[in-house]
Amino acid sequence: MTSLLLLSHPVLFAQHKSLQVGLKGGLNLSSLQLADPAIPAGRTKLGLNLGATVSYYLKANLFLQSGLSLTSKGMKLRGTSSLGFGDNSVLPGREASLISQQWYGQIPLYLGYALPLGGAIKLVFNAGPYVAYGLGGKTRLTGDIVYDDVIDYGTWEEPTFGKRGLQRLDVGIGAEVGIELGRATIGLAYEVGLRDISPTQWVYIPFYPTSYKNRLLSLSIQHRL
């Protein structure tokens, strides 16, 4: 009952010196680490992040930060031949693309430090692990698609996650540097996915590499309540 009362009144957290809550949102630029050098570069995709943060101050400027966010990841691939098939199977020189949209619920656990610069300005650093779970998304392939023993150029769309798609669970590490101006903090963060989330079964959609690990660069604004 006490927990429900506190969660329904976030201002009570903000007034506590050791525990603070906030809202956070911004833009993501996501990509992936590939083990296959044949897949072309230019794989970044623009996305969003939005969520709530909870910070617990261990000392005056040393804190633990967690929370829950809805974040968009994924990638775009484009090439001039069908990726995933050799030139002996398809005609080369055909324009092909894959757009993978991934929506995650993500929880970080970061250790942070706020370095006072004078006045209400602080330089903030934090880093640590995160865990994310794939909530949904669509993957769209345009290119030479195999239908039984026929290859036809067209567009195919399937859920990003599922038994023929990427694995839902992702874990990794992240780090962020930011400028705190009063109640607001502008931060630049980078995340490295450590878990290979490539499909565990036969890959129906081409382009999914044998190893798929998320990479993410984000710019966000956090506001303490």
Q: What does the pLDDT look like over 158-190, one tens digit per residue? A: 889 987 788 999 999 999 999 999 999 999 999
The structure tokens listed for 124 are 């903030």
* pLDDT at site 86: 47
Task: Assign 90 a pLDDT band (cuts: 50, 70, 90).
Answer: very low
pTM, to two decimals = 0.80
CB of 193 closer than 8 Å to CB of 173: no
Give the Cα separation of 27 and 130 in Å (integer): 18
Residue carrying structure tokens 């565990």: 200
Assess contact for 224 and 20: CB atoms under 8 A: yes
| Phi-psi label, residue 137: left if phi above 0, alpha if psi -120 to 50, beta otherwise | left
Give me 170's structure tokens: 């992702």
Rg, the chain, Cα only: 21
Q: Which residues of 35-46 are buried (b: 16+ CB within 10 A; e: fewer)?
A: eeeebeeebbbe
How much is the pLDDT for 93?
A: 57
Give the C-alpha separation, 203 to 88, whole Å.
Answer: 19
Strand duo 150-159 + 121-136: pairing: unpaired
What average pLDDT does the chain have?
Answer: 82
> Residue 150's beta-bridge partner residues?
147
- Classify burial at 166, counting beta carbons within 10 Å of its beta carbon; exposed 0-12, middle 13-18, buried 19 or more: buried
The yes-or-no verdict on residue 78 having pLDDT over 90 is no
pLDDT for res 123: 97
